[in-house]
Each structure stands twice: as structure tokens, then as C-alpha cells.
């Protein structure tokens, strides 16, 4: 029996790969990713901490809006306090709705990652032409506002069609964050050439952890610390990428922000922090592209 296959990449066992290090000999690349998401009122889909209400469901809309009105500002203050870089997975609708957020982020020189137009829509629901329009619109808005287009993309809801990776490559993207299959970057195949798959956490992600699986803030702290500590240990064997995914309306709530403060402070002050590269996905991608051919699974240069 031959099972259907995505044909984006082949199987690769992490224990069989060439070794390499991150800059300055560091072994664990750690990136913090905030999700900046704006939602339509009264229509479309959206996160919820409780049962959805009948349209227009003002209660859950307002709860999500709290993340942009309050949560993101507290998160940015914390990142500033700890001198931590971050990447921001950004709905392009944020630029019209809350431009002050992007102004603040710009002062930090953080990376902006494409995250669709709004999380009220999913790419898997679109035709190829409409999805191409969605990607182009979001990319152009970010490029115009930031002076450079985004290099990476995370689809709203991590939702993909059969051609998402192809369309991203055709819009000059370097990497995609939709495939949580590995602890290292790997190369994917598209109809227009290679695209890097960047590790992004599905589990150390506050939304599915605390909204879907109903973990408490304290449990999420414990999960995230265990993930970090074990990955730091494992990075003695292979260079790894440890991501922490945050949503402003989730960890932006004060009792969860307290957990986030404790988590990030312990990581920054860890006794082996000198082995950690506090970085961004774009910088990870640059490092991967500079490695010798054949170092990273799926490297198209390995066959030349």
C-alpha cells in the first residue's frame, strides 16, 4: 500500500545529519514569536476562551481585541526589560487598525513575519487565484510600511492549501513556519524552487495549550521550561531551534503575563545562557543559507 505524500520533503532522521553550530559556537537558537492578529466583527472565525456566542459575538471579539489594546504593550515592555529580540507574526490589517503597535515594534528592530490579512480567514478555504491575491496583498502592505517585504510567512491558523508553499516561493519568501515537523530547519520543494521550513512550536504555543487543551498558566510555564531545558541538553548533540509562540490576547492577560515574565526571565538568566543564540527566524535562515551544501536536509545544492 502506498500512502499519499505531500512531496515537499523526504524523511530525514535527525541523528543521521551533519553537525553544525549557530554563530559563535552556540548550540540552541531560541526565538520568541508574538502573533499580532485582528479579527472581523460579527463574521469569520476567531479564537475563544469559552463557548462561541451567537453573532456578532461581541464578548469574544472584545476579548481578542484586548490583546491589541493592552496585551501587546505589556509583552513589549517585558521584552524590552529583558532585552530579548522577537519576531511578530502580523496580520496586515493591523497596520490600519492599530498602527501604533507597529511603530513601537519598529523602534525595536524586530522582524515582521507575514501572517495573512486577518485571522478571520483561512488559506485552505481559498482558490489558488484568491490565495495568491491574499498573499500578495499582505506582502505589499508590510513591504510598503516597513520598507522591506517580509521574508517569512505563517499562515493564519497554520492553514495551507496544496499550493501555499508554491505561492510563497513565487512571492520571494525565504521560509515558511507552517510545518511543525522538526527541531531544525529543513528545505522544502516547491514548483519554483526551494523554500526553507522554519521550526515553529505547535505545543509550546499559548493558544492551543491554554485555550484548546485547557492548561493553566502555571502548567504552560512548566511545559515551556521543560521544553527549553531538554532542548538545551539535546543541543549538545545537534544544533536545535527552540521557539516560544505567544498570542497577545492569551499571555497578555495579567495572570498569564506573570507566568511569561517568570519563564523568559529564567531562560535569560539560565546558567548556560552562553550556549543560547537569542535570535529571529530571518537570522536563522541567513545562517542556514550560508552553511556548506548538503548540511541541511533537502538542500538543493547537494546534488550539484
* 208-235 tens-digit pLDDT: 999 999 999 999 999 999 999 999 999 9
Residue 304 has pLDDT above 60, yes or no: no
CA dihedral over 291, 169, 247, 147, signed as positive or negative: positive
Strands (E), 39-167: 87-90, 111-114, 152-153
Quote the CA–CA distance of 178 and 115 in Å, as a whole number.
Answer: 11
Q: How confident is the model at residue 302 (pLDDT cuts 50, 70, 90)?
A: confident
C-alpha cell at 73: 504593550
Asked if the model's pLDDT at residue 167 lies above 90, the reply is yes
pLDDT in tens, 17-38: 999 999 999 999 999 999 999 9
With bands split at pLDDT 50, 70 and 90, how would you rate the model's confidence at 52?
confident
**Topology at the third CATH level for domain 20-43+51-303:** TIM Barrel (3.20.20)
- Strands 193-197 and 186-190, by their bridges, are antiparallel
Cα–Cα distance, 216 to 218 (Å, whole number): 5
Residue 54 phi, psi dihedral angles, 5° rounding:
-65, 150
Q: What is the DSSP letter of 205?
A: B
The percentage of residues in the chain with a pLDDT greater than 70, rounded to a whole number, is 99
- Average pLDDT on 87-109 reads 98
Q: Which range is least confidently modeled, 138-142, 220-224, 262-266, 300-304?
A: 300-304
Give the pLDDT of residue 225. Answer: 98
- Closest listed residue to residue 122, CA positions, set 61, 70, 168, 164: 164
Query: What is the pLDDT, as a whole number, of residue 287?
Result: 98
Report the alpha-carbon distance of residue 263 to residue 206 in Å, rounded: 13
Q: Domain locations in the chain?
A: 20-43+51-303
Q: How far is it, in rounded angstroms, from Cα 179 to Cα 151?
A: 16
Predicted pLDDT at 5: 93
Could you tell me the pLDDT band of residue 113, with boundaries at 50, 70 and 90? very high
303 pLDDT higher than 80: no
Q: Could you tell me if 193 and 201 are in contact, meaning their C-beta atoms sit under 8 angstroms apart? A: no
Q: Which residues, including other chains, have CB under 8 Å from residue 12's CB and lie 6 or more apart?
A: 186, 297, 298
Q: What is the pLDDT of residue 108?
A: 98
Q: How far is CA 74 from the centre of its chain?
A: 19
What sign does the dihedral 250-252-258-261 (CA atoms) show? positive
Rounded CA-CA distance 122/12 in Å is: 30
Would you place residue 43 in the very low, low, confident or very high pLDDT band (cuts 50, 70, 90)? Answer: confident
pLDDT at 143 over 70: yes
H/E segment holding residue 266: helix 254-268
What's the chain's average pLDDT?
A: 96
Asked if the model's pLDDT at residue 55 lies above 90, the reply is: no
Amino acid at each position: 500500500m502506498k500512502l499519499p505524500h505531500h512531496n515537499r520533503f523526504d524523511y530525514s532522521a535527525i541523528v543521521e545529519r551533519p553537525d553544525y553550530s549557530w554563530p559563535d559556537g552556540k548550540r540552541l537558537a531560541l526565538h520568541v514569536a508574538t502573533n499580532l492578529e485582528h479579527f472581523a466583527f460579527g463574521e469569520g472565525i476567531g479564537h475563544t476562551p469559552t463557548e462561541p456566542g451567537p453573532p456578532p459575538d461581541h464578548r469574544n471579539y472584545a476579548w481578542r481585541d484586548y490583546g491589541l489594546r493592552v496585551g501587546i504593550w505589556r509583552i513589549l515592555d517585558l521584552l524590552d526589560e529583558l532585552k530579548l529580540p522577537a519576531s511578530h507574526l502580523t496580520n496586515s490589517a493591523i497596520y490600519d487598525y492599530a498602527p501604533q503597535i507597529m511603530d513601537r515594534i519598529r523602534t525595536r528592530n524586530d522582524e515582521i513575519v507575514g501572517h495573512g490579512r486577518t485571522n478571520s480567514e483561512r488559506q485552505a478555504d481559498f482558490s489558488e487565484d484568491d490565495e495568491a491575491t491574499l498573499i500578495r496583498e499582505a506582502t505589499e502592505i508590510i513591504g510598503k510600511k516597513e520598507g522591506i517585504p517580509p521574508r517569512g510567512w505563517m499562515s493564519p491558523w497554520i492553514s495551507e492549501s496544496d499550493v501555499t508553499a508554491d505561492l510563497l516561493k513565487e512571492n520571494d519568501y525565504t521560509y515558511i513556519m507552517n510545518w511543525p515537523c522538526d527541531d531544525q530547519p529543513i528545505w522544502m520543494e516547491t514548483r519554483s524552487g526551494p523554500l526553507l521550513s522554519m521550526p515553529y512550536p505547535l505545543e509550546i504555543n499559548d493558544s492551543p495549550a491554554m485555550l484548546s487543551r485547557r492548561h493553566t498558566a502555571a502548567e504552560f510555564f512548566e511545559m515551556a521550561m521543560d521544553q527549553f531545558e531538554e532542548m538545551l541538553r539535546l543541543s549538545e548533540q545537534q544544533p536545535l531551534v527552540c521557539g516560544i509562540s505567544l498570542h497577545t490576547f492569551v499571555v497578555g492577560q495579567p495572570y498569564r503575563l506573570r507566568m511569561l515574565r517568570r519563564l523568559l526571565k529564567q531562560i535569560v538568566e539560565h546558567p548556560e545562557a552562553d550556549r543560547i543564540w537569542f535570535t529571529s527566524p530571518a537570522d536563522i535562515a541567513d545562517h542556514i543559507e550560508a552553511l556548506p551544501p548538503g548540511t541541511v536536509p533537502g538542500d538543493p545544492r547537494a546534488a550539484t
